Structures are given as C-alpha cells and as structure tokens.
Structure 1
Amino acid sequence: MEFKLIIKKINDTLTPEEASIFDTWYNESALNRDYFNNVQNNFENDSKEVDLDLAWKSINDKITPKTSGKNKKAYYKYAIAASVTLLMGSGIFYFTKSKKQIIQVAEKPQEIAPGGNRGILTLSNGKQIILANISAKDTIAKEGKQEEVTIKMSANGVITYIINPNADTSKNDPNAFNTLSTPTGGQYNIVLADGTKVFLNAVSAIKYPTQFNGNQRIVELEGEAYFEVAKNKNKPFIVKSSNQAIEVLGTHFNVHAYENETVVKTTLLEGSVAVTSKNQKAILKPGQQSNVADNVNKIAIREVDTQAAIAWKNGRFKFDNADLKSVMKQLERWYGIKVEYRGDVSDVRFNGGTFMNKNLSEVLKVLELSNIKFKVEGKTIIVYP
C-alpha cells in the first residue's frame, strides 16, 4: 500500500481503481485498519497546524523532479502530506512558517496490545501444532497405537479428547503424553479425556496422558491453570507442580506455580483438595489458599478473595492488596514487556482491577491511581515510586 493512497483516501480523491486497491488493503487485517485510523486521526487533529504550502515549497526548492507542471505538484503535495502525517506520529522535528522556527512534535508511544487465544500442542511423537492454524471443528490428530483417541477442536476453540469406544484398551500406549503450552500473551482451554476442563494462563504448560489408565489421573503443570475436575471417586486427580502435589476427586481450583516466582499458590473454589509438600500435608476448604515457599517447610493457609485468584480466567486483572512486583509480572506475561524499577517500590499495594483486553497504556493509567509512575520506552516499562 502506497502511503499516498492513504492520504488520497483521507482527502476523498481516490479514483475507482485506487479505491478498490485501498479497500482490499483496508479489509485485509485489523492491523491495517488501526494503522489507517491512527493516520487519519493525526491528520485531522494536527495537520491544520502545519502550513502544507510552505512545506511543499521548502522541499520543492530542494529537488528537481522528472515530472513537471500540475502532475509534479500534485505528486509532491501527497508526498508532503504523507511526510507531515508521519512526522506527527514519530516525534521528529519539522518546520513551519520559517526555516528558523522549529516545533517539536510530542512523540506518541506505540500502543502495546494485549494477548489472546494462543497455544501450541505437542503430540507424543514430538510433532508441534500451532493451534491458531486449526479451524473450529477440525480433527487435530489421532493418538495411540490403534488411534484410541481423537483430538478435535470444538466450535468455540477448545481442544477436546474423544476416546474411541472400539479401541483395544489392553494395548494402550503408556507413553502417549501430550503437552499444551502457551506463549507470552497467550491463553488456551482444553478438555481432557476424562472430561476435566483446564484453563491455561500465559507462559504455562500442562503435560497429560491422552487417556487416563490405572488408578490415578496425573498431570504436570508449569505456570498457572484453573481446573474443573470431573468427579471420579475411584480415580483421584493429581496435579504435580514445582514443590508440591495436589490430590482431588472432583472440584474447582486454581494453581499458580511459575518457576520465576518463589511461592506456589493453590486456591480452592469448591469441594476440597489435599496439598502435599516436603512431607507436609494440608486440606483446603473453599475460599482458602495454600502457599508453598521454596525456603519454608510449612504449608501456609489463608482466606482469600477467590475471584481475584481466577480473574485472569474471566478476562480481568483483579488485585486484592497485591504487591507491585507481582502485578507487573502479570503484565510481563500478558503484554510481552520487560519491567525495570527505579527506586524503592516494596510497599506499593494495589486493589481493584481492569479488563485484560485493553492496551497496556490503559492498564497503566489504572495503576497510576495508586501514586506510582511509569515510563514506556519501546517494550520496556520503567517504574518510579
């Protein structure tokens, strides 16, 4: 897309052929539409402050185009308009009225967009499937020596495992494990072979068998996930993560177990769970959260706001007296940013929240209400007390 077509679109001077080219480009992606809208807003809001005729004359005096007359001037008018619009969005200096007067346009930081539904499925044979490339209701793969399990994508984008009732289960492959992982800025949902629903947060991975044989249902977690475990009193469901194991028969709970954080948090919403760590065992009741720390042998239990613990699953940031660094870790995983701290921020706490589908700048405005300051430099966020 030539930039002059964008300017002609703003000026409503496109020919029918040019309009067709522009419409194809505009409808191609949301990124293209956002780009055009930003240019249009800058042009409409700021171009009246720029003397385009003088800008045209200044550049026209310095160049000798091959074309001449009306066509030459029309061409360069579009070039100047494009240049001015670009300058207004980039913070570069430009001239108006005279060569001696310089106005600096305030730089407009590039918006950092939120994450979305992104995941990678790794099959037992090592093959990796980028789930964004799979259409709804598609068959993703078949697993097992005799195709005991079919992996499908549901209509709402959830991975599901369907066991073939005619398969010879006596010959099941005990090594048929899959792994669902999410990148920075990604979340994904899955329904395991027993009907258990798992909601996987950003920068997380869950390893699980394609079907649960034996007398236990064991999965391994890195990162964060919310579980709605299908009830089976004869086959306990066990989640292994970092320094702990969680055993349930059927219940709803959240596990926060990132390797770069020192505490593993298990939050129970309904039913009961048994948390085991370093020869210690604790039974949680609904509304309680267990904390297992690297350097502490005792399992700490406290009452918490369970909705704050699972807010991420519902598309929200919700802070319940959360410390600044734990909040910023959430933003790092969701927006793919790097955070630097300037000064002591250890006593800063947050309550409240906002939606995860907002650009980072909008989230930072909410956090600034707690008397903290942020400076955005590309993908780096500098935090000041």
Structure 2
Amino acid sequence: MNKTQISELLKQYQEGTLSDEDKDKVDAWYLQKALDSKLQLNEYELEDSYQYLKSTLPVQHERKVLSLWPRIAVAASIALLLGSGIFYFIQPKEQNVQVTVKPQEIAPGGTRGVLTLSNGKQIVLSDISAKDTIAKEGEEDEVTIKMNANGEITYVINPNAEGSKDDNSFNTLSTPTGGQYNIILADGTKVYLNAVSSIKYPTQFNGDKRIVELDGEAYFEVAKNKSKPFVVKSDKQSIEVLGTHFNVHSYNNESVIKTTLLEGSVAVTYKNQKSILKPGQQSDVSDNFSKIKVREVDTEEAVAWKNGRFKFDNADLKNVMRQLERWYGIKVEYRGDVSDVRFNGGTFRNKNLSEVLKVLELSNIKFKVEGKTVIVYP
C-alpha cells in the first residue's frame, strides 16, 4: 500500500468506518513497520509502550487496540521492536503518514543513601521514616542513630552510658549513582554527600582529633572545637580545620582533587606540601602537578550541586558529562574531537536529562540518547 492509501485507511480507522478486511490491512501494515525496526524493547518498556499505544493510537474502540497488541507482542518476542517507545501515527494536513518514537525521559537523581553500621549491617535509608531510631551503637548503646524531621541522619550520644571510650566503632554513609544524602555527625558537624560518594567516620569523637575519610564529593559545615581539629582524609590529601565551611571534590575517576573554602580557614596537606586556604580560594592537587595549586574561584560553582543546581564556569565538556553520569546514571560516548568545548551557565538538577541537554546544546554540541547511553557529537 502507498502512503495515500494508508492515510485514507487511518482516517477511516479513526472515524470508526473501516471494514474488518481493511482493519486487517492496517494491522498488517503496522506490524510490518514494527518488524522493520532495529530497535529492541525490554519487558518493562514493553508494558510502558502498551499503555502508551492505547492512549495514542488514533482509534475510538479499545477493543481494536487489544486485538492489535498481541500481534505486536509476538514481534517483540523475536527480539525486534520499538526501543524506548512505541510507534504511533500522525496525520498532518498533507495526509502523509509519519512514524514517530516516543522519547524515554531519564529522570534526575534524588535523596538516596545506604548506612553501613560497625557490625556490617547495611540500612537503605529511603526505607526509613523521619524521626525513626535507626540503630544503636556501642556495648551499652552509647550512641543512638536517628533520622530527624528533615530526613538527615543524626547521632545522639547518651551522656549516662558507661561504655568504653574508643574510636573503634565506625559507620559509613554512601550514595549510589543518582543519590545524595545529608548527615549530622556526633560532634554536630553537618555533611552533605554528593552522588557516588562515601564517608567513613567514628560514631563518636573521643580522640584528640575528629577524623573522617571521604571518597567522592562532600560539603562540610564543621562544628567549632578549638581543642579538637577536624580532619578530612581523601586519597593522598588531608585537610585540617577547627570549624569552617568547605567543599571537597575527590572522585577516583577525576585526576584532580579540589578543595574549595567558603568561610574560615583550612590547611591542605598533600604529600610533603601544605597550603592554607582563605575564603574564596580553591586548592588543586594531582600527581600531575609539582605542587599544590591555589587560586581564586567562584565558590557558587563548587557548591552548586548542594543547592540543587548545575553551574558551569568555563567548564570542559568531559567534566560536565561526568557530573551528568553520576546524577542520571548514564553512560557517555564521544564521536569526534570535543576537547576544546567549554560551557558557561547552568540549570537545575531536578530536571529530566533531556532538558539539561537542551541547555548544553546552546554551545553547539549535539547529543543523541540511546537508552541510557548519551552519544556526544561536535
């Protein structure tokens, strides 16, 4: 059948005036279009596509949709069909039949985390209700772990407990791809943990220093205690403070560890070097550098993730895409040379991936989304 014939049949299909014989012709034409597709559909997308088909196919009687669907399902079962959407028909004024694919939106991340206790037990925090007591730590339950009304993990020390005073009881808070979480440590220090990150810490700070270990990225609001410095260890770097606000970016797939100071003072130590940062400064350390690099930066960019934003200030493309990989759970592939592409501007982290990519395309970069893979073209 040619396009004019199909267009006329679809029109009659929509009006409910199509004969049974012609309905079979439309079914056969549609099924052939599905078989010709090189896209594939998994079982979850198959159900989603079925629901989308019912709401979009231009027919008046659901009876016909149900009779059509088993044939399409058969086509899907032989490893063909429809990818992230379902073919549907559009009849423009010219009466040309077009086949369109429903886009599959990739949603942003959210509040997700896993708490690992000193005994190895893991607690998925999204399953816990606010104000719940999550667990107790120590031989005599010296520390109670709770979730406060804001959804943050908190540590409450029992002043009457007579347990041992040591730092051997450690917990670890970790976030998956597309997750972030906040925690208030036993000393009152607040930690915002970005996606694909983890922080290991004692359930109470009894030594002469408050030491935590970070992998990934976190923003710290350190409770002041002049007699007990707060130390953040990340890879080969160590940061020591008494009480201040700063951000540490230390992912294992990034070549540079960045520490950005917002207020107070921090001492950054890397191998045999040490630098004191002032508010508004950022230190960069790497095995590729001969010394610690310190420079003035836009602190809003460094902590934009904590405030629910992506913010780019002359950021290179691959750095930007690594952020999207961690937040949206995607894989990025590059086709062509994009080494000189830089971005300025930003958007909100609560938007679907397609909306973020539209913003980035303003810099003359092209993106193609195939499932959970984003292909980048110059």
TM-score, normalising length: structure 1 = 0.78
Aligned mates of 1:239, 1:56 — CA distance in 2 = 73
Aligned mates of 1:60, 1:340 — CA distance in 2 = 43
**TM-superposition CA deviations, 1:285-305 (whole Å, max 9, x none):** 000000001222300001100
Distance 1:304 1:56, change over 3 A: farther
**CA shift for structure 1 position 78:** 4.8
Q: Is the 8 A contact 1:56 1:76 kept in 2?
A: no
Q: 1:360 aligns with which of 353, 357, 369?
A: 353
Q: Is the 8 A contact 1:278 1:297 kept in 2?
A: no
Please tell me whether residue 309 in structure 1 is matched to residue 302 in structure 2. Answer: yes
Aligned mates of 1:178, 1:352 — CA distance in 2 = 38
Aligned mates of 2:331, 2:341 — CA distance in 1 = 19
Aligned mates of 1:250, 1:291 — CA distance in 2 = 21
Q: 2:13 is aligned with what amino acid?
A: D
Q: Is the 8 A contact 1:119 1:130 kept in 2?
A: yes
Distance 1:95 1:76, change over 3 A: farther
**TM-superposition CA deviations, 1:26-64 (whole Å, max 9, x none):** xxxxxxxxxxxxxxxxxxxxxx9783334965445899x
User: 1:158 — aligned with what?
Assistant: 152
Pairs aligned (count):
323
Aligned mates of 1:367, 1:95 — CA distance in 2 = 30
* Overall identity of the aligned pairs, in %: 74
For residue 51 of structure 1, give the secondary structure of its aligned residue in structure 2: helix
**5 Å matches for 1:58-69?**
58-59=22-23
Distance 1:377 1:56, change over 3 A: farther
Q: 2:148 is aligned with what amino acid?
A: S
Aligned mates of 1:60, 1:118 — CA distance in 2 = 49
Please tell me whether residue 204 in structure 1 is matched to residue 166 in structure 2. Answer: no
Aligned mates of 2:287, 2:212 — CA distance in 1 = 21
Q: 1:228 is aligned with what amino acid?
A: E
Q: 2:204 is aligned with what amino acid?
A: Q
Please tell me whether residue 76 in structure 1 is matched to residue 63 in structure 2. Answer: yes
Q: Is the 8 A contact 1:144 1:172 kept in 2?
A: no
User: 1:273 — aligned with what?
Assistant: 266
Please tell me whether residue 92 in structure 1 is matched to residue 87 in structure 2. Answer: yes
Aligned mates of 2:196, 2:21 — CA distance in 1 = 54
Please tell me whether residue 260 in structure 1 is matched to residue 222 in structure 2. Answer: no
Q: Is the 8 A contact 2:238 2:269 kept in 1?
A: yes
Distance 1:232 1:173, change over 3 A: closer
Q: Is the 8 A contact 1:109 1:376 kept in 2?
A: no
Aligned mates of 1:239, 1:206 — CA distance in 2 = 9
Distance 1:315 1:94, change over 3 A: closer
Aligned mates of 1:59, 1:327 — CA distance in 2 = 50
**CA shift for structure 1 position 94:** 6.4
Distance 1:248 1:49, change over 3 A: farther
User: 1:137 — aligned with what?
Assistant: 131
Deviates more, 1:75-84 or 1:313-322: 75-84
Q: Is the 8 A contact 1:280 1:297 kept in 2?
A: no
**CA shift for structure 1 position 188:** 0.1
Question: Any stretches of 5+ residues in structure 1 without a counterpart?
Answer: 1-47, 64-72
TM-score, normalising length: structure 2 = 0.80
**5 Å matches for 1:1-385?**
51-52=13-14, 53=16, 54=18, 58-59=22-23, 76-79=63-66, 90-92=85-87, 103-168=97-162, 171-385=164-378
Q: 2:302 is aligned with what amino acid?
A: A
Aligned mates of 1:185, 1:295 — CA distance in 2 = 30
